[in-house]
Amino acid sequence: MKLVASDILLVWITLGAVYSFEYGEYERQPIFLTASVGGWVLLSCDIDFPETMPIPFKLYWNKNERTIFTYYKGVITSNEPYVGRLNLVDPPQPRYDTITVNLTSIRESDDGWFQCKVTFPNRTPNTMNRNGTWFHVSVNGGNLLEVPPINQTIMEGEEARLTCLPKDNAMKVIWYKDAVAVKDYQEMTHRTWTEEDGTLVIKPTQMEDNGEYECEVIHESGERQAARAFLDVQFKAKVLYAPPEIHLPFGRAAIIDCHFKANPPLTNLNWEKDGFLYDPYNIPGVFYKKNGSLLISKVDESHNGRYTCTPFNKLGTQGPSPPMNVVVQKPPVFVASPNNMYIRKLGEPIEIPCDARDGNNGHRPTVVWYKKDGTSLPMGRYEIKDGNLSIYNVQEEDRGLYVCSVTNKASTITAETELLVENIPSSAPYNLTGITSSHSVYLKWWAGRQRVNVNYSIWYKPVESKEWKTYYVPRSSYLDATIENLDPGREYEFMVLCRDERGEGLFSKAIKLWTKKSDGREFSITTMDSFMPPVGFPRNVTVTPTYKGFQVSWLPPEYGLENLKFYVVRCTQGVEDYPLVSHETRNISHLISDLPEGNQYGIQIIAVSYDDQQAISEKVSIKIPEYRKVQAISTGMIAGLALLVILFSAIYYVKSRWWRQKEKQAMYEKNGTSPKF
């Protein structure tokens, strides 16, 4: 019994040692992954280099005790059914300790265990081999698709077959390329068809067939399942297009392009000129661009000639391009150009000259006229003859900048001129309306046709009076104004006068309005049939400086909030009330930023009702000092003071040293000795 017990104990110890070796502290737990038919999954395998020193290794992937993939020294070997479906994500680098493969176009048969193993052909690790990882892939099969398509790489002209096998041949299979049905590609209709088992056949393939293909299986119940694969059509580098003649501008930079396509990508591109190799590296002023084009920094007569380009990739080339005849042409030059400005009166004609010649042979280039603001030339009233622009019966809308553009095959030159139209009187304001209170009337009007820099004024008087009073409208108000200090319960007559900078202008039609009585009763007489209840004026406008700008706040009107459409924050600059900022908001505050320093600004809040009536608050004025100037002055003063301190310190130091030397000299003379050096 003792012998049996000893044998049993020895067996347990041996098994424990084996277990410790195989499943001890270095055991790698299996990794469980889930994928769907037609999908993909990444499998990452750890590499345990001996003593952490990278050395050559060989990678194996096994499934069902059969090797399906190997990698060694850059060579990949795959076995069916994983050819084209199991690929390295990135070429492994010696310093990395992980290598990843991508399993694509997953099938139901891929369900199960995958094992990764790494061996070192030139060396045996001095410790236990901990390389190798187990993966379990669970495939959610779906009910329709049995074999999805796989990625393929083929040569142009060969036949491509993309498999898409449904579980039932009665199911419908539709193919898409780059999310567009294959049948909708007209250039593919005579080269593609779908077989009974759902396979898409492309014969012969062309470079345009490159892309992502998707097969969609549809059951009669409406259930759908799809899978994707990429078709890589490779071909030798080829020239797609070569213009027979290219014109380059003399004295300017220019590019000679080689229009090619290559898959795999371009590896080299050769140029020839007049039958000889043309190497930009040996020609001053000519350079290669990244796409192989020739960049000429300054064109001259030496660049004339017949050029050809030949692109290459790792598969080779399909030959050189047809010859491109390069002609160096001088840009056009003006022989007659327009003046800077023309002034015409309404109804007068005008002719603006513009003529040019080619720099080489005196040929007349193409001349085009257009307005710089993008509006069209006056239809039916203009003519271009020998490059000259003629406009008949000049109208107000003809004013503006005109551009004469001259073009030949080498370059384009332009000349600008401005047309001003005189005697355009401003038309009278119209649609004058008003809202009354006991002692004031708020007026609003619409602007008619007007010139620049117009001013408005309000003319008003009691109806029974013959003397008119005038109120000049500030530019900040523009199309509205409030007349104050009126008598309650009295009828007044109002007109608006619009004057331009020459003093010309017209009056609007007059309206009569009754101010409210002192007890609040009102007379409602206006030129409009009806009014919405007026909106009140914004109140208590305050402006607070912040680090971001100026925060403008106000209180809402005392009445008419139900008719309030929005507020307008208006900021004007200077005593002339030049409009600077106008912002619409529904809030009762707004931040104004980026105001130039050293100026005075006026800020008003306008309440606008739904019928576009306006009520304007009192103006709040602010002055922004020139902080930068003050800062610069302060910095200069500090620097000046620092310089003075340094200067006085130097003077003091030199003077003190001089006095010490003088005292020492006096002491030596008194003692009858001489200083030692």
What is the rounded average pLDDT of the residues 348-363?
Answer: 83
pLDDT, tens digit, 9 for 90 and up, residues 95-104: 457 788 888 8
359 versus 2: the higher-pLDDT residue is 359
pLDDT tens, position by position, 651-672? 877 878 788 777 777 776 666 6
Q: Which of 281, 304, 329 represents a domain boundary (last residue)? A: 329
Report the pLDDT value the prediction gives residue 453, as an integer from 0 to 100.
67
Percent of the chain at pLDDT exceeding 90: 30
669, part of any domain = no
Instruction: Please give the structure tokens belonging to residue 95.
Output: 């310093």
Q: According to the model, what pLDDT value does residue 629 have?
A: 59
**Are β-strands 412-422 and 341-345 bridged in parallel, bridged antiparallel, or unpaired?**
parallel
Task: Answer yes or no: is 523 within a domain.
Answer: no
Are residues 343 and 399 part of one domain? yes
Q: What is the pLDDT of residue 256?
A: 94
3-state helix, strand, coil in the chain (%, to 5): 15, 45, 40
As a whole number of angstroms, the distance between CA 185 and CA 205 comes to 14
Q: SS3 string of 410-469?
A: CCEEEEEEEEEEECCCCCCCEEEEEEECCCCEEEEEECCCCCCCCEEEEEEEECCCCCCE
Mean pLDDT over 564-569 rounds to 87
Same domain, 211 and 228: yes
Confidence band of 204 (pLDDT split at 50, 70, 90): very high
What is the rounded CA–CA span in Å between residue 180 and residue 388?
A: 52
CA distance 428 to 111: 87
User: Do residues 412 and 435 share a domain?
Assistant: no
CATH code for position 190: 2.60.40.10
pLDDT of residue 637: 82
pLDDT tens, residue by residue, 437-449: 888 898 988 877 6
Q: How far is 232 from 291, CA to CA, in rounded Å?
A: 22
State residue 425's pLDDT score: 60
pLDDT of residue 449: 61
Q: Are residues 227 and 248 in the same domain?
A: no
* Sign, Cα dihedral of 368, 373, 374, 378: negative
Q: How far apart are the first and last CA of the chain?
A: 111
**What distance lies between CA 434 and its chain's CA centroid?**
48
Structural contact between residues 125 and 49, judged by C-beta atoms closer than 8 angstroms = no
Give yes or no for residue 521 having a pLDDT over 70.
no
Are 247 and 256 in contact, with CB atoms under 8 Å apart?
no
Domain assignment of residue 577, yes or no? yes
Residue 316 counted as domain residue: yes
| pLDDT exceeds 60 at position 5 | no
Query: What pLDDT, in 10s, does the model give residues 32-45?
Result: 988 888 788 888 88
The answer to the question of residue 668 being in a domain is no
For residue 641, pLDDT over 90 is answered with: no
Sorting pLDDT into bands at 50, 70 and 90, what band is 18? very low
Q: How confident is the model at residue 8 (pLDDT cuts 50, 70, 90)?
A: very low
Nearest to 105 by CA among 81, 85, 89: 85
Task: Give the pLDDT of residue 315.
Answer: 94
Q: Does pLDDT of 75 surpass 50?
A: yes
Which among 329, 364, 381 is the end of a domain? 329
Identify whether residues 346 and 374 lie together within a single domain: yes
- Domain finish residue from 624, 651, 671: 624
pLDDT score, position 493: 94
Predicted confidence (pLDDT) at residue 614 exceeds the cutoff of 60: yes
**Range in 340-349, 372-381, 507-516, 603-612 with the lowest mean pLDDT:** 603-612
- For residue 635, the SS3 value is helix
Distance of CA 271 to the CA centre of its chain: 36
Model confidence at 296, in pLDDT bands (50, 70, 90)? very high
Residue 521 lies in a domain: no
Confidence at 531, pLDDT banded by 50, 70, 90 = very low
Residues 6 or more apart in contact with residue 625 via CB below 8 angstroms: 597, 598
More confident residue, 4 or 263: 263
**Which class for 313: exposed (0-12), middle (13-18), buried (19 or more C-beta within 10 A)?**
buried
Q: Please report the pLDDT score of residue 244 as a whole number.
A: 94
Q: Which helix (H) or strand (E) holds 523?
A: none
Residues 460 and 472 occupy one common structural domain: yes
Structural domain span for residue 572: 539-624
Which range is most confident: 181-185, 392-396, 475-479?
A: 181-185
pLDDT (0 to 100) of residue 182: 94
Greater model confidence, 453 or 270: 270
Confidence of residue 192 (pLDDT cuts 50, 70, 90): very high
Q: What angle do CA 169, 170, 175 make, to 5 degrees?
A: 75
Instruction: Please state the rounded mean pLDDT for residues 564-589.
Output: 80
Residue 388 · residue 354 · CB < 8 Å? yes
pLDDT band (50, 70, 90) for residue 92: low
Distance CA(490)–CA(471), nearest Å, equals 19
What is the pLDDT of the chain when averaged over all its residues?
A: 82
Say whether both 405 and 453 belong to one domain. Answer: no
Domain-embedded: residue 271: yes
Phi, psi of 21 (to 5 degrees): -75, -40
- Residue written as tokens 């959610």? 140
Tally of domains within the chain: 6
Average pLDDT, integer, range 156-170: 91
- For the segment 557-586, the average pLDDT, to the nearest whole number, is 80
- List C-alpha distances in Å: 524 to 162, 434, 536: 84, 10, 17
Q: Is residue 80 part of a domain?
A: yes
State pLDDT tens for residues 398-419: 989 999 999 887 778 899 999 9
Tokens 């001129």 identify what position?
417
**Residue written as token pair 């302060």:** 634
Average pLDDT over residues 379-387: 91
**What percent of the chain clears pLDDT 70, i.e. is strictly above it?**
84
Quote the CA–CA distance of 387 and 140 in Å, as a whole number: 75
Integer Cα distance of 91 and 101 in angstroms? 10
Q: Are residues 437 and 497 in the same domain?
A: yes
Residues 226 and 246 placed together within one structural domain of the fold:
no
Q: What is the pLDDT of residue 670?
A: 65
pLDDT digits (tens, 9 = 90+) for 452-498: 567 889 999 999 888 999 999 887 667 888 899 998 888 999 999 98
Top-confidence residue, 619 or 458: 458
Name every residue whose Cβ is closer than 8 Å to that of residue 674 and which is 6 or more positions away in sequence.
Answer: 668
Residue 457 and residue 505 in one domain: yes
Q: Do 80 and 48 share a structural domain?
A: yes
Tokens 């010859």 found at: 323
Structure tokens at 145: 């698709």
DSSP 204: S
Least confidently predicted of 101-110, 184-193, 231-240: 101-110
Judgement on whether residues 34 and 131 belong to the same structural domain of the protein: yes
- Confidence (pLDDT) at 383: 93
Q: What is the mean pLDDT of residues 133-160?
A: 87
| Most confident of the ranges 109-113, 297-301, 424-428, 517-521 | 297-301
What confidence tier does 519 reach under pLDDT thresholds 50, 70, 90? low
